């Protein structure tokens, strides 16, 4: 983990109180912590840093890892293709991440990408601002993103049919900056960063994948700067009772607090019409981006992800 993050971090378990974390360095270089611990002096929780990966999800457990579908090899391969299929020159790939990135204005200071998966949007933002943090609760996704950050490319296996696999390799374009980025394991519902820190925040295809969607939105609002900030939200609103209790959905129900359409409800939240967000956001644009996930050579998921671009 890059040492510049230390000043930015707080204990996610103590939220809404914000307590700094104290570092113990066991193995480090001038800029990076390879092995060490981050400790909250207030609640006494210790967050390890192992092989350069900071584990800042307060609910991280071996049992949770075993149940998380985003830790599995098929999902890893599917998301590598989804994020970097265009760099493989695959004609079936989409330009979704470029399209989302084009919605963002270049800016000074830092950007946070929640649910960063394989990091493509984070790498796109690294070309547009001073520093980017990607946060995801999948350890294998964060490990792969950090490997990409270091090696600027990857070899991986793409499923063709059944157990038939194809070896693939992609490299980042030479002009991509990768030294202004870090990826950490964390929960998008208890973000381990100080309030008001980030000049841009993104939540792409995450809100319907977390048990507490409103808490996730409140968190991205909290860590965004109160002025001169951009927010990019996008989601297909594939609400599922397996992920979140329908009472917690922010749309897709005929009755209840968030009855009706997810996008309208989230726009109302951002604009302060439901009280949760202050200072309120102004909606710049909304629309959709077509996004694809590949399972094998004859099976793809085509997703219409509805975006909202806002600023304040």
Ligand X SMILES: C[S@@+](CC[C@H](N)C(=O)[O-])C[C@H]1O[C@@H](n2cnc3c(N)ncnc32)[C@H](O)[C@@H]1O
Which spans of this chain sit near ligand X (rule: CB under 6 A)? Answer: 70, 115, 117, 136-138, 141, 187-189, 204-206, 209-210
Q: Which residue is nearest to ligand X (CB)?
A: 115
- Nearest CA to 54 out of 192, 153, 195 is that of 192
Indicate the helix (H) or strand (E) that contains 139: helix 139-151
Q: How far is the CB of 243 from ligand X (least distance, A)?
A: 8
Kindly tell me the burial class for residue 265, based on how many C-beta atoms sit within 10 Å of its own C-beta (0-12, 13-18, 19 or more). Answer: buried
Q: How far is the CB of 190 from ligand X (least distance, A)?
A: 8
The tokens for 141 are 């996704």
- Evaluate whether 197 touches 223 at the Cβ level (below 8 Å): yes
Q: How far is the CB of 180 from ligand X (least distance, A)?
A: 19
Q: How far is the CB of 201 from ligand X (least distance, A)?
A: 12
Q: Choose between 69 and 163: whose C-beta lies nearer to ligand X.
A: 69
Q: Choose between 119 and 159: whose C-beta lies nearer to ligand X.
A: 119
Residues whose CB falls within 8 Å of the CB of residue 205, separated by 6 or more in sequence, listed in order: 115, 234, 235, 236, 291, 303, 305
Q: How far is the CB of 292 from ligand X (least distance, A)?
A: 10
Q: How far is the CB of 120 from ligand X (least distance, A)?
A: 7
**Alpha carbon distances (Å) from 205 to 52, 154, 197, 236:** 26, 24, 22, 7
Q: Choose between 191 and 270: whose C-beta lies nearer to ligand X.
A: 191
Q: How far is the CB of 232 from ligand X (least distance, A)?
A: 11
Q: Choose between 209 and 225: whose C-beta lies nearer to ligand X.
A: 209
Indicate the helix (H) or strand (E) that contains 73: helix 73-84
- Evaluate whether 199 touches 106 at the Cβ level (below 8 Å): no
Q: Choose between 34 and 286: whose C-beta lies nearer to ligand X.
A: 286
Q: Choose between 28 and 143: whose C-beta lies nearer to ligand X.
A: 143
Q: Choose between 35 and 86: whose C-beta lies nearer to ligand X.
A: 86
Q: Choose between 53 and 204: whose C-beta lies nearer to ligand X.
A: 204
Extract the runs of DSSP E, i.e. beta strands, from 130-239: 131-136, 153-161, 164-171, 181-185, 200-204, 230-235
How many residues are given for the chain? Answer: 312
Residues whose CB falls within 8 Å of the CB of residue 179, separated by 6 or more in sequence, listed in order: none
Q: How far is the CB of 205 from ligand X (least distance, A)?
A: 4
Residues whose CB falls within 8 Å of the CB of residue 276, separated by 6 or more in sequence, listed in order: 214, 217, 218, 221, 269
């Amino acid at each position: 983990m890059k040492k510049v993050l230390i000043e930015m971090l707080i204990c996610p378990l103590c939220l809404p109180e914000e307590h700094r974390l104290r570092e113990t360095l066991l193995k480090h270089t001038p800029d990076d912590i390879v092995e060490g611990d981050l400790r909250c002096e207030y609640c006494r929780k210790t967050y390890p840093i192992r092989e350069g990966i900071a584990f800042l999800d307060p609910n991280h457990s071996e049992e949770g890892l075993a149940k998380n579908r985003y830790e599995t090899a098929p999902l890893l391969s599917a998301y590598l293709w989804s994020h970097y299929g265009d760099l493989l020159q695959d004609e079936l790939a989409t330009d979704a991440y470029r399209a989302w990135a084009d919605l963002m204005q270049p800016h000074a200071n830092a950007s946070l990408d929640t649910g960063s998966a394989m990091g493509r949007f984070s790498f796109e933002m690294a070309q547009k601002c001073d520093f980017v943090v990607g946060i995801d609760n999948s350890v294998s996704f964060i490990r792969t993103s950090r490997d990409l950050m270091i090696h600027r490319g990857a070899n991986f296996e793409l499923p063709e049919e059944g157990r038939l696999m194809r070896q693939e390799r992609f490299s980042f374009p030479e002009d991509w900056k990768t030294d202004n980025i870090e990826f950490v394991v964390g929960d998008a519902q208890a973000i381990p960063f100080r309030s008001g820190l980030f000049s841009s925040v993104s939540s792409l295809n995450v809100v319907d994948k977390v048990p507490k969607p409103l808490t996730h939105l409140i968190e991205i609002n909290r860590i965004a700067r109160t002025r001169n900030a951009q927010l990019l939200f996008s989601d297909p609103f594939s609400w599922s009772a397996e992920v979140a209790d329908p009472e917690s959905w922010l749309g897709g129900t005929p009755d209840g607090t968030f009855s009706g359409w997810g996008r309208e409800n989230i726009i109302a939240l951002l604009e302060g019409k439901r009280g949760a967000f202050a200072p309120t956001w102004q909606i710049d644009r909304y629309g959709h981006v077509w996004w694809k996930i590949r399972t094998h050579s004859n099976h793809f998921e085509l997703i219409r992800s509805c975006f909202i671009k806002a600023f304040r």
